[in-house]
Structure 1
Amino acid sequence: MSLSRGMRLADGQVTLRAPLLLFALWAVLAPVQGSQGHPSWRYISSEVVIPKKELHHGKGVQMPGWLSYSLHFGGKRHVIHMRRKKLFWSRHLLMMTQDDQGALQMDYPFIPPDCYYLGYLEEIPLSMVTMDTCYGGLEGIMKLDDLAYEIRPLSDSQRFEHIVSQIVSDISATGPTYKLGYKEDRDPLFSQKTASTAPRINNRIFSSHKGMIRGFAQSSNSMYHVYNNMTLCIKFMIDMVSLIDSMYKGLDIRYHLTAVLVFDVRDPVNMNDYRIPGGEYYQFHHTYLYNVIQPSASFIVVKDGPEDYQYNPRMFGFCSSQSLHMVGHLGRHYLLLAVVTSHLCGRSLGLYFDDHDCSCQRRSSCIMHRYPGLTDSFSNCSFVHIQNMLSTEKHCLFSEHLKFFNASLTHIRCGNSIVEDREQCDCGSFKECNANPCCSNDCRFESTFLCDKGLCCTNCTFSTAGTLCRPIRNICDLPEYCQGGSSGCPDDFYMQDGTPCSEEGYCYHGNCTDRTMHCKEIFGASTVEGPDVCYQINKKGHRFGHCRREFSARRFIQCHDRDVKCGRLQCTNVTHLPRLQEHVGFHQSKISGVWCWGLDEHRATGTTDVGHVRHGTPCAPGKFCQNSLCNATIGEINYNCLPEKCNRRGICNNNRNCHCHIGWDPPFCKLRGAGGSTDSGPPPRRMRSVRQSQESVVYLRVIFARIYALITTFLFGIATNVRTVKTVKVKEEIAGEGNP
């Protein structure tokens, strides 16, 4: 067992109330932390802590997907915030071992895939936390400035106790990575002094498009015998890969593990030949491993060598069999081994060694230094260099290549949440099935039930025909209704391309091509389309202004004059900033006196790019945008849905069939009916009517009746009074005439 893991032997003997005993224990173990004959590393302090889970992240704002803990170490209380990361390239990690004869064999054992985290320490800029929770506790590395801490669960603790140990190492614990006097051939257009003047903005913020490394981790037989345990050996390599992934995130590159190989019986060849190419193990790797796995980069850990200066990987050998890195364990901590492996991988990518003009962010040493040490950061020189390399040509870092191994090993299994052959349903684990009333744990429906999930599944049975299962999402969308015979909703239908949706736009692939409407969706109701001068930014060729980007490169392609209105959408009259997706930024530029606004483009962040001009948007008289080029004509849409086709009682969908208004039956909207189309399912035949409460009507009738009666009485009284006056006057006149 390695010494870094050997500290577990002392966990059960640590007494919380006896700090002196704990200190004495580490004092005894410290001298043996490095192997004899090699610069040592050691723990200089250890503390027993109890991490307390924090319910909120930030200032009282709940952040989904984050895990936060508060713990006291190094003389103060720290709060760590972590987010789960994807470490494995595929869902099931390929494991390669040897049978008793030494022949390679493959398997897919269960290795926890969703318990690896990357995070930071609160209020410590550019800190790094790489952690896993696979075995019931927190285990990993915390880097803050030049300090490195390891955290591990305390064995047999009933109170969630952990040990936090500070790691230090001699300056030569890693390196020298090259001998004195070594000079490398460099690109004459690239200068370290020029790179040293580059902006020191955080790499995690500056870069925008992630590259992907498909890593292949291998363990020699000598390294396996350090543990004599397959589980511990695999965990050791996964811990290394997790740290390498965290380090390369500074270059906006992810390191995903594709496969693990352990020579648990014997090494296939002599491991003392470190030549690349030409060495014995290189020939074995090239012949039997690389052509099958095809990784971007591979590394193998050998217990007793090579020294760091003895192995120099092939420059620009990335994504080839020459991207093989032989790492000497030499009794070092796995953090140091991750630094060395990251350095070697950087050389394969083509990164130069750092000199005195290069610097890191809040670190005294960098990964590409001659003596990297306990660092986790690439220098500004490395960052600028890799940006120059990846922006000028295609690179395999951006390839979405997927490799599947021996599909026959993937068995149909009830309980994996995937409905496979001979299964009616699959509710997952026993706990999930217990909460699912429709599906049993033998992947069969309960009783006479018909379904357990789906947009048209209600109370374990099919929803009745006419139930709305997918409402309209925008002005060009059409609703879909359940058909009553399955749990699935019909395909998503929308108005036929060319259907007018505003005074300036028409529907195309389910979206309205009105630029002002598009701007309002992003920036708010007062926003309008930017003038033509704003679209000149699309000729710049950066992430805020471009027409397209090559799939396998970071380089943005600027728009030609005729295509500027088919690049990034430009808006104006923005009065407030909207709530955008995570990792999405905006620009505010003043061009010829006009304030122009737009969004940037991100890749591989799980976001939807809403800032590009939509396909089908008009860009010139008689033309519209297609694949970011203003080269398609309006006639190509072939809009033929005349009002007479649906008898002026409906519109056409993308299948060019009539979608009738409510009250008329498809397919031609001639007869009375419920509406809809033959594609999107039948809407409900009976329309619901809202009946007004009769009680309020009665009250209103009584009130108005009394008002009418009062008015009638009043008018009658006035009319009666007028007649009486007239009668009296007539009588008085007659009486006067009768007197002598």
Structure 2
Amino acid sequence: SCCVMLMAESVFGVGSMNPWHRPFYRPLSVRVALTGLEIWSDQDKIRVDKSPSDTLNRFLEWRTRELLPRLRHDNAQLIMGESFDGTTVGMASQSSMCSKDRSGGVNVDHLVSVLGVASTIAHELGHNLGMNHDTADRRCQCQNEPRLGGCIMEPSTGFMPGQLFSSCSARDLSLSLLHGGGMCLFNVPQPEKLLGGPRCGNLYVEKGEECDCGLLDECNDPCCNATTCKLVPGAQCSSDGICCDNCKLRTGGWMCRQPLGECDLPEHCTGASPYCPPNVFLQNGEPCEEGASYCYSGVCASFNTQCQMLWGPNSTRAPSVCFSSVNKQGNKYGNCGQMPNGTYIPCPSKDVHCGRLQCQGGNDRPLLGTSAEILTTKVKFNYSDFVCRGTYFHLGDDVSDPAMVAQGTACGLGKACWNQRCQDVSLFGVDDCQSKCNGHGVCNSNKNCHCDVGWAPPDCRSTGHGGSVDSGPARAPRGTSPFLLLEAETGGVGRHCGPIQRYPRTGPNRQDITPPTLPKHSPHTTRGISSTTNLPS
């Protein structure tokens, strides 16, 4: 039989309700909450075999098709009693935490110890969060001796499993969040959805509680009584919420979460809750970069940005002739994915911009890892010579290759990359926000209108404070607070400082431009596989 664990994660919290996660994720300020448990006692819902990659792909397809529609969660981990070929005990998709189709992993319960299984799950979850293996060339600092298990993200584990994250893991997580890899992690899971029942001291405010600051010896919240999980006299809220200041609720309209980029949206305190509203962002397929690109999972990254992440700040996108020349070859240096048997797929002409990323300039070596193979191609086009640079990564036994063109990248007029194919952007189900929001807002990831300042949700038809039903009012009602956000009165989503963010209403208009998303994971199902944890042979 198999077991499916459903989890919701949040960043900037501390601790976890799950005892086996407490020592693991607490130092990284990540909370992991168990929101569901499904036991396959009658029959397996997917075919489980000796191939970890095939089993992972089938599980993730089942999760997308069957599980997500009925149970909301951020991540799912399959725990199975059967073993894989070789010494592999776990596998997951790299940097895929907030993706609909890749956020999950498969884990073998090898019956050595509960701690061993917990460490494996923490390892695979780490890959989902963007952590790479702690290899010797990275010179990671681990505060745990090898004889005591070392650190969680090491490529293989001994009989004593790792129980701490290294300095490299903390750095990887920070970079992943900085580049939009955690767009779903800025909300606190609903307490009534957690398994295990309410318990004072687990850091979640559950039924019958007014606050929860952890156990008595770890609580440092002056607004909360750790023994009773009740607010102290005179307090309106506990200080664990960003919309609580000195035990008093902040006025509605205070910006509690700034946009992380062009495709993200700000959230504001509501005036009724100490917590910032759950994170929302522009709907997938919304134009960005002045109409030259598309938003996907809250990120808009141009080809230049992707190249700079690989080759450094002086790298730029290579001409289209480079993509065509390299990606039609159908080898590991240029392809549009792999067949189940591992054979590389040559890119058809229409899909060449969705294969392996081609760049110019930059550093001599890629910034990621030391195991990259570099392919330099010289091509001649219209009497000009071009030098294209691509790379193939082998970051671990099955860590995904970050040098493939990102999901959601524009590949032509009204087209975007999806599963390494150039497809119509209508695939993302883009709502017509001009009419839906009456020309005064944009559609967010929940398909609701985020109104410009001066217009009221839900449809931006009447005057109001802006924002959305999901993210709070964009500014405080007049006269309720001396603090005003700096926002343009002419529309657009404002920020505390810097230029006003404007959202283009037209799509990509140049055939040779292909932007957004930083490669979170290889879009193709077989190459989006990340980590393997190995037992000693």
Q: TM-score w.r.t. structure 1 length?
A: 0.35
- Which structure is higher in helix share? 1
Q: TM-score w.r.t. structure 2 length?
A: 0.46
If you compute each CA radius of gyration, which structure gives the higher value, 1 or 2?
1
Q: Which has the higher contact order (CA 8 A, sep 6+)?
A: 2
